[in-house]
Chains A and B, each alone.
Chain A
Amino acid sequence: GENVEQHPSTLSVQEGDSAVIKCTYSDSASNYFPWYKQELGKRPQLIIDIRSNVGEKKDQRIAVTLNKTAKHFSLHITETQPEDSAVYFCAARGGSYIPTFGRGTSLIVHP
C-alpha cells in the first residue's frame, strides 16, 4: 500500500519567515495530494490540493509543488503569521481512492 513520509515533525519559525513542509510517497499511482491544517482542538481542514497533472499550485501565501519523478511534494507558506500555527498533514491518494496521511508537522510561528 501507499506510504507517506512527512518532515519535519516540528517546525518553528519567526513571524514573516517562510515555512516548508515536505512529503514523500511510495505509490506511483497516487494522483491526488491534499494538505490539511488542524488547529488545536479543531477538525482538519483542507487548505490546498494538487493533482498529478500539475507541478505547482498557489493560493495567496500558500503553494504546493509536486515532483512526480521523485515522488515528493511540498507545502510552502510565505510571510507566516501567528494564526498559521497548527498541525499540517499531507496526504496522497491513488488507485484505492483512500488518502494515506503523513504523521503531521507542528508549525509554530513566533510573533
Chain B
Amino acid sequence: KAGVTQTPRYLIKTRGQQVTLSCSPISGHRSVSWYQQTPGQGLQFLFEYFSETQRNKGNFPGRFSGRQFSNSRSEMNVSTLELGDSALYLCASSQTGRTEAFFGQGTRLTVV
C-alpha cells in the first residue's frame, strides 16, 4: 500500500511569488490535513479537507489556501510568498479524520 506522497520535495521561490504543493493520500483515505513545520514553532495546523470540502482551518493568513479533488488528492497554495514562509510543509491523511494520521515526507520550501 503506497504511503502519502508529496511533491515536489524541495522548492526555492522568490519573495512575492506563489507556490503550489501537492499531496496524494493513502488510497481510501478521504481526509487530508496540512501542517507547517518550523524549528521554532513545531507543527502548526493549516487546514483539513474531507470529501473536497475544507472542514477545519488553522490560524494562518488568507495567502494560504488549499483544495481537494474528487480522488482525495489535495493541493496547497501560498501566494505572495514571504521569507517567513520558509518551512517544511507536511500533509497527513487519514480515513475519516477521526482515525490515525499518516504523514508524507514533506515539501521543503525556501523563500529567498
Contact = CB atoms under 8 A, between A and B. Distances in A.
Band of interface residues on B: 20 to 34
Contacts, number: 43
Chain A interface helix/strand/loop/mixed: loop
B42 A104 contact: yes
A98 B96 CA distance: 12
B105 A43 contact: yes
Contact of B103 (A44, A49, A98, A104): A44
Query: Most chain-B Cβ atoms within 10 A of its Cβ — which of A49, A102, A104?
Result: A104
Band of interface residues on A: 10 to 19
Nearest to A98: B56
A29 interface: no
A46 B104 contact: no
A36 B4 CA distance: 16
Interface of A: 34, 36, 42-46, 49, 89, 96-104
A98 B48 contact: yes
Interface in B1-52: 4, 33, 35, 41-45, 48
